[in-house]
Chains A and B, each alone.
Chain A
Amino acid sequence: MIAAITAAWGYMLAHAVSARRFACCPAYPTAGEELIGWLAMAVAMMLPSKLAAVRDVAARSYRARRVRAACGYMVGYLAWWLAAGVIVLAVRSLPASHEIRTATWLCAIAAVLAILPLRARLFRLCHRTIALCPVGWRADRDAIRQGSLHGWPCVATCWPLMLACTITGHNLVMMAAGTALAYLESQMFRLERRPLVAGAILLGAWTLAL
């Protein structure tokens, strides 16, 4: 998992360096580039906050199946981000999705989302665990299902900031700050709205500066 996160950040950094700017992707990428960029961003930004969950799934599996269970979790988790990526492809066909101002609006949406009561419920679902079958195809199914159970609430809460990052061409500052925000939330004992709102507002301000 750490290798996947490192590779994803490496991909982003390499493209950013080659482009000689703080963003790794061209303003009008092809559909393939868009989808790869989206998935790499999901791995780089979202998986660090799921390290504890992956460790938990591995610890609840037989030693011989731990890596497989961890991979299953990531497949289930990232499947939701892949599905979201397909929607992003459609959204990116709209001219407004290439304007930085849209990213600012998305940050504002993220700030509003953080204070809704629904947000607290999604936060709790992000920590939900299910019993894992220890062997056979059902073990793989359960690991995927556990990842999936964490994936959809994550997409539901983080999509505005992730889409904002995409609109800024995967701006590295946006991505780093978004990763920190997602990790901070994953470590919260209970949902603390103020840092999430403040983070979204600061990111919105950064998009204005771009």
Chain B
Amino acid sequence: MRTRRDAWKLPASDLTLEWYGKAVAAMRALPRSNPGGWDYQAAVHGVGVLPTVQNGFWAECQHGSSFFLPWHRMYLLHFERIVAAAVEKLGGPKDWALPYWNYEDPAHRALPIAFRRQSLADGSPNPLFVAQRSAGANAGQTVLTPKDVDLARCLKAPGTTSPGGFFGGAAPAHFGNAGGELELTPHNTVHVAVGRPNGLMIDPDFAALDPIFWLHHANIDRLWEVWLRRDPTHRNPTSAYWLTGVPFQFHDATGGVVTMRTLDVLSLAAPVLDYTYEDLTDPLTQLQGFVVPAAPPPSGAADLVGATTTAVHLTDHVEHVAVPTPVSPAAFRRAGAPDAFVAPGAPASQLVQQVTLVLDNVTSDATGPTYDVYVNVPTAADPTQHEDRFVGRVALFGIKQASDPAGLHGGSGQTIALDITALYHRLDDAKEIDPSNLRVSFVPIEPEPGTKVTVGRVSLYFA
């Protein structure tokens, strides 16, 4: 069994990353048509470097759906096997495994050193270095902020495919549905933070050309396993459609075609995977000393209780949006259970199990615009001075592709769902929320001048 190890904790004498670099160089030398080549493997995620799409293998990346995690696990698996074969061919170890970039520790939120050096000790170019990254990332700065790598949201998310759940939407799509919590943060946020403003990582069509891409995704894959182990209520979806309904094709290390379904990759110990991670401990337990049980997923379907009546246009400035919410928590409760007794003045926490803020059909031709979202910040106040009202960071990774009606994604844009249950209940308990009007603020993060993003609708759902 291969063990994927933390790139930041590899001993100085360890050669894992050195062999990775040699394999990358060897793969880059292969023609684009070779499935074992670097460009070909990158094109499986997005076809930025190749002129045409070869159906079935290229541009197959799954985002904004519950296939995000299993597809990327399959993708990583085959990439790892291809690199391992290259390492072995070059005279390296037979058990090479892909390391992961664990950004949990604040000291490890800079790019691992092996990816920043422009040249190796012998003066030759470092295959793991690419210039197309944020300047701070290649300069060794702590490029990831706590909000980029906030694991609490995703690790506490319920195992549902509904908005606000750990998995993305169940409907078939590349981009377009609501992504799961792990996909939103830290997946999207790290992509954008490393690639900002015009790097490879910020654009799904080019992201896999950066060697750090694979270590980032190994960490996302690891966090899926951490989420499963941290709470007995955390379970993978069980729908037949998710488990066996959709086949995906890849090339193995010999160039042969392999077809896989989600069910094939759910257990790391399964012979087809046969790998583990050096560290699968729960980071939230380490921080808090105990496990906070996750709230059970809501029993009923979500109801729309508020929404803007026009599209919201975001720019490179702070924007405040009023969201009319004509359906109060009590009215929602009565509508769902007409016979239920609703005590006058009952708090929202007794009436509503889940509160989800949804940004519908977000479109833009910008690459990776990012906003911090706040709820009910006092009028004229600076949202960044009210971190207790912070909801989440929305990094719109892939928004350009999702917005193109002629592209692979149909032009629906992205839908972002943020679970704001705890904050809503807290504000309601403190009588600091107007039940008929929710105020949502968007703070741009390192915006490019002239950035324009359209949110088709800002909606509020109760469940």
How far does the alpha carbon of A108 sit from the alpha carbon of B307 in the complex, in Å? Answer: 47
Interface contact B327-A129, CB-CB below 8 Å: no
Known: A129-B412, A132-B457. A59 touches B309 (CB 8 A): no
Using an 8 Å CB-CB cutoff, how does the interface string of B308-338 with A read, 1 for contact, 0 for none? 0111000000000000001100000001000
Point out the residues of chain B lying under 8 angstroms from A138, CB to CB.
Answer: 309
Known: A131-B311, A133-B309, A134-B309. A125 touches B361 (CB 8 A): no
Chain B residues with CB under 8 Å of chain A are: 171-173, 176, 245-246, 301-307, 309-311, 326-327, 335, 360-361, 405-406, 408-412, 455-457, 459
Known: A62-B326, A134-B304, A134-B307. A124 touches B172 (CB 8 A): no
How far does the alpha carbon of A57 sit from the alpha carbon of B301 in the complex, in Å? Answer: 14
Expressed in whole angstroms, the minimum distance between the Cβ of A58 and any Cβ of chain B is: 10
Interface contact A127-B176, CB-CB below 8 Å: yes
Residue A119, interface by CB 8 Å: no
Interface contact A128-B456, CB-CB below 8 Å: no
Interface contact A188-B172, CB-CB below 8 Å: yes
Interface contact A127-B304, CB-CB below 8 Å: no
- Can you name 14 A-B pairs with beta carbons within 8 Å? A59-B304, A60-B304, A60-B360, A62-B304, A62-B305, A130-B361, A131-B361, A131-B455, A131-B456, A131-B457, A132-B360, A133-B310, A133-B457, A138-B309
Known: A60-B304, A121-B406, A189-B245. A127 touches B311 (CB 8 A): no
Residue A32, interface by CB 8 Å: no
Interface contact A124-B410, CB-CB below 8 Å: yes
Chain A residues with CB under 8 Å of chain B are: 52, 59-63, 121, 124-125, 127-136, 138, 188-190
Contact of B246 among A62, A125, A131, A189 (CB under 8 A): A189
How far does the alpha carbon of A121 sit from the alpha carbon of B347 in the complex, in Å? Answer: 49
Interface contact A62-B309, CB-CB below 8 Å: no
Interface contact B309-A136, CB-CB below 8 Å: yes
Known: A125-B410, A129-B361, A131-B361. A59 touches B301 (CB 8 A): yes
How far does the alpha carbon of A130 sit from the alpha carbon of B412 in the complex, in Å? Answer: 6
Interface contact B412-A128, CB-CB below 8 Å: yes
Interface contact A130-B304, CB-CB below 8 Å: no
Expressed in whole angstroms, the minimum distance between the Cβ of B58 and any Cβ of chain A is: 13
How far does the alpha carbon of A135 sit from the alpha carbon of B221 in the complex, in Å? Answer: 42
Closest 5 pairs (CB-CB, A-B)? A131-B456, A131-B457, A134-B307, A124-B410, A189-B172
Point out the residues of chain B lying under 8 angstroms from A128, CB to CB.
Answer: 405, 410-412
